[in-house]
Amino acid sequence: MKIEVRNNNVEKALRVMKKKMKRDGVFQELKDRQYYRKPSEVKREKGKQRLVNIKKAEKIRRNFL
């Protein structure tokens, strides 16, 4: 990952880096590796997140049309 610092604006470069890392899932992976979770628990959590994402997409699609 490469971030350019323009006009010595390090704060903006850090914000850009954090946004890219969040989008790539780096922070979530660190959080997941901090403690052991049972595989069934991980699968259940993924299912819940999938439903949340589907509902968000439907809501956006409904409001857009």
The pLDDT assigned to 1 comes to 81
**Predicted confidence (pLDDT) per residue in 22-63, tens digit:** 999 999 999 989 999 999 999 999 999 999 999 999 999 998
2-25 tens-digit pLDDT: 888 999 999 999 999 999 999 999
Contact indicator for 1, 17 with CB cutoff of 8 Å: yes
Distance CA 14, CA 20 (A): 10
**Cα angle for residues 1, 22, 14 (degrees, 5° grid):** 60
- What would the two tokens of residue 38 be? 């049972």
pTM exceeds 0.85 for this model = no
Structure tokens at 25: 């899932």
Query: Distance (Å, rounded) from C-alpha 16 to C-alpha 35?
Result: 28
